[in-house]
Structure 1
Amino acid sequence: MTLRIGTRGSALALAQTGDVARDITAAVGTPVDLVTVISHGDVSRASLSSLGGTGVFASALREALVADECDLLVHSLKDLPTQPYDGLIVAGIPQRADARDALCARDNLSLGELPRGAKVGTGSPRRVAQLLAARPDLQVIDIRGNIDSRLARVNSDDLDAVVLAAAGLDRIGRSDAITDLFDLDRWPTAPGQGALALEVRASDIGGGFEAALREEAAGIGEQIAAAVGALNDRDAALTATAERGVLATLEAGCAAPVGAAAVVQDGTLFLSATVYSTDGLRSVTERADAEIDEQLSPEMLGARVAERLLEAGVASFAPVGAFS
């Protein structure tokens, strides 16, 4: 029996889904077919925030999964809304790639070396705020498009630089374009950045990460359970889930400049998150940690950090509609 994996049609989506497909076949021997689904976010040129957020990339895929047009979805986890989708669950998160943001600039320049007034492109309000916080003199230009089209704007001298996810550049073989990498301690990225989500029908495996390994799953469900169970990575699941717990409690989407970074060290999960004003003039950072044991809920650790952010007054300078 062949597993059908749903994916967006962009070069990045096809590359990362292809990696997952090969890993599944190598781990459990199951043959895989890719099913390409076109979303509204892929064809519209409007800004991401005006389209309603990152969910525009996931909705068509999820509809295809519910309609049994595929058996498993591969998402960039940062593109998934934190609200649950009826009948579907994220049952696995493979080993996480580099979560950092990268600058891709002309003449191999770093952020600090860009000339005064340089034009830097990004479609992320968080990156806008971080760029302006670091370099208030920059002209930050709102851009859309795939990785290659964004890089082309630098090469054509339309822009001096763009900021992109290091993981995406690595996955399509364009890491050679990186001229500066931003440390997560001073430049936290989108919750879940660098991580992939394996989303399935809950009825196929009957639960979440642990349930994906249950022996009573049958038929296609047994294959799906084996596939996601083989690829799920504990540390990736803990860190990404904790970061997304911040967003869930803040009820924040792509219009909110929120960065988060979690790491597992010596049996402890550490989490920090920062909320920025859109002009980069204000920011608040909060942190929390917890020992990793059977009682640890990474979602609750994320909620703890988010509650501290709210107590610190971030709602007073966050964009209208970022928190509800």
Structure 2
Amino acid sequence: MTVIRIGTRGSTLAMAQTTTVACQLESKTGVETEIIPISTQGDRSTESLSTIGGQGVFANALREALLAGECDVVVHSLKDLPTANVPGLTIAAVPKRADERDVLCARDELTLDTLPAGARVGTGSPRRQAQLRSRRPDLEVVDIRGNIDSRLDKVTNGELDAVILAAAGLARAGRAAAITEYLGISGWPTAPGQGALAIEVRDGDEKLVKVLDHKPSRTKTEAERYVLALLDAGCSAPLGAHAVIDDGLLFLDARVYALDGSRYLTSSHALYVNDVEDPAREAAQRVADELLSQGAGDLTGARA
């Protein structure tokens, strides 16, 4: 293969992410790459994600193009990728993960604690909406869609007082200067896989991008995403998860919220990576079992 065709959404952020992947691939392998922009339903629609089918609407068109042979590789934001496997496709690489934290971008350098009562805060994520309602029930939470620039514009023009976004996305899009507060993971767990990219190929083509795979990032994000899958919840569910590997130990925490922010359930487990065959799945199973025993199914719609 003389040129590797890389499919991606056409948004500014997606193009920036894919350009980085293309440059890394060219640098490490010497191959030539071509970026193929692909339009998705999520990009064309202005309806809420819950209405049009959740975050998976961003991935479907890319996967269809990959299966149809219109490209050789596709790049996803891992947090937007459904957990179910697609026959004929495989995630061949998870590059080193970027900052997984959420951030606040507010007017007048405000933070989440200093926003005045009644301030309007925008986000399209049910998890972030639940977290906002849990931590600051006196705020007005506004369901919004759009790319990074259009969301930040809503703050600049006074339509909103603040928006919640992902630190990694802002950094990749060159808009990190808009951040007024980084939200700590311990009190504000983020979406499974947030901050990471997933590089997907057709079965048998793993060698095209395997050089970009970062094993610790893959293990941590797999653990987080397994919790989502085991709870039988969609990737827009009000669930935050965070995994770290320290001195051979995989630590996994997860928190499931009621949509109205009135309550949440938590679970944390740790195990030695070398003690089990599949540490990510084993840790996730322990966390998911505990959450389900606490009643998480009532919050996520999971089967008991």
Taking structure 2 as the reference length, what is the TM-score of the superposition? 0.97
- 2:258 is the counterpart of 1:277: yes
- Name the SS for the 2:35 alignment partner: strand
Gaps of 5+ in 2: none
- Name the SS for the 2:165 alignment partner: strand
Q: Which residue in the other structure is 2:295 paired with?
A: 313
What is the alpha-carbon distance in structure 2 between the residues aligned to residue 169 and residue 143 of structure 1?
Answer: 17
Once the 2 structures are TM-superposed, how far is the Cα of residue 315 of structure 1 from its aligned partner?
Answer: 2.1
Alignment of 1:7-156 (within 5 A): 7-156=8-157
Q: Residues 93 and 198 of structure 1 are in contact (CA less than 8 Å); yes or no, is this contact kept in structure 2?
A: yes
Once the 2 structures are TM-superposed, how far is the Cα of residue 296 of structure 1 from its aligned partner?
Answer: 3.3
Which of the residues 272, 285, 300 maps onto 1:303? 285
Report Cα offsets for 1:29-81 as digits up to 9, x if no partner.
11100011100110000100111111100011001000111101100001110
Q: Residues 81 and 235 of structure 2 are in contact (CA less than 8 Å); yes or no, is this contact kept in structure 1?
A: no
What is the alpha-carbon distance in structure 2 between the residues aligned to residue 265 and residue 82 of structure 1?
Answer: 25
- 2:5 is the counterpart of 1:4: yes
Q: Which residue in the other structure is 2:170 paired with?
A: 169
Amino acid at match of 2:252: L
- Name the SS for the 2:127 alignment partner: helix
- Matched residue count: 301
What is the alpha-carbon distance in structure 2 between the residues aligned to residue 131 and residue 254 of structure 1?
Answer: 18
Once the 2 structures are TM-superposed, how far is the Cα of residue 290 of structure 1 from its aligned partner?
Answer: 1.3
- Name the SS for the 1:32 alignment partner: strand
- 2:201 is the counterpart of 1:194: no
What is the alpha-carbon distance in structure 1 between the residues aligned to residue 292 and residue 168 of structure 2?
Answer: 30
Once the 2 structures are TM-superposed, how far is the Cα of residue 228 of structure 1 from its aligned partner?
Answer: 2.0
Once the 2 structures are TM-superposed, how far is the Cα of residue 203 of structure 1 from its aligned partner?
Answer: 3.0
Amino acid at match of 1:131: L
Considering only aligned residues, what root-mean-square deviation do their CA atoms show, in Å?
A: 1.1
Report Cα offsets for 1:241-274 as digits up to 9, x if no partner.
0000000001111442000000111111110000
Amino acid at match of 2:241: A
Q: Which residue in the other structure is 2:247 paired with?
A: 266
Report Cα offsets for 1:166-193 as digits up to 9, x if no partner.
0000001100000011111110000000
Q: Residues 66 and 202 of structure 2 are in contact (CA less than 8 Å); yes or no, is this contact kept in structure 1?
A: yes
What is the alpha-carbon distance in structure 2 between the residues aligned to residue 63 and residue 296 of structure 1?
Answer: 30
Moved more, 247-256 or 79-88: 247-256
* Percent pairwise identity: 53
Q: Residues 245 and 300 of structure 1 are in contact (CA less than 8 Å); yes or no, is this contact kept in structure 2?
A: no
Amino acid at match of 2:302: F
Report Cα offsets for 1:211-231 as digits up to 9, x if no partner.
xxxxxxxxxxxxxx1x42221
Amino acid at match of 1:310: L
Amino acid at match of 1:127: R
Once the 2 structures are TM-superposed, how far is the Cα of residue 299 of structure 1 from its aligned partner?
Answer: 2.2
What is the alpha-carbon distance in structure 1 between the residues aligned to residue 15 and residue 266 of structure 2?
Answer: 35
Gaps of 5+ in 1: 206-224
- Name the SS for the 1:133 alignment partner: helix
Q: Residues 189 and 242 of structure 2 are in contact (CA less than 8 Å); yes or no, is this contact kept in structure 1?
A: yes
Once the 2 structures are TM-superposed, how far is the Cα of residue 313 of structure 1 from its aligned partner?
Answer: 1.1
- 2:302 is the counterpart of 1:323: yes
- Name the SS for the 1:203 alignment partner: coil
What is the alpha-carbon distance in structure 2 between the residues aligned to residue 29 and residue 105 of structure 1?
Answer: 43
What is the alpha-carbon distance in structure 2 between the residues aligned to residue 37 and residue 162 of structure 1?
Answer: 27
What is the alpha-carbon distance in structure 2 between the residues aligned to residue 296 and residue 82 of structure 1?
Answer: 17
Report Cα offsets for 1:78-126 as digits up to 9, x if no partner.
1110000010010110000000000000001110010111000000010
What is the alpha-carbon distance in structure 2 between the residues aligned to residue 47 and residue 229 of structure 1?
Answer: 35
- Name the SS for the 1:74 alignment partner: strand
Taking structure 1 as the reference length, what is the TM-score of the superposition? 0.91
- Name the SS for the 2:233 alignment partner: coil
What is the alpha-carbon distance in structure 2 between the residues aligned to residue 107 and residue 241 of structure 1?
Answer: 38
Q: Residues 231 and 297 of structure 2 are in contact (CA less than 8 Å); yes or no, is this contact kept in structure 1?
A: no
Amino acid at match of 2:153: A
Amino acid at match of 1:200: V
What is the alpha-carbon distance in structure 1 between the residues aligned to residue 186 and residue 219 of structure 2?
Answer: 18
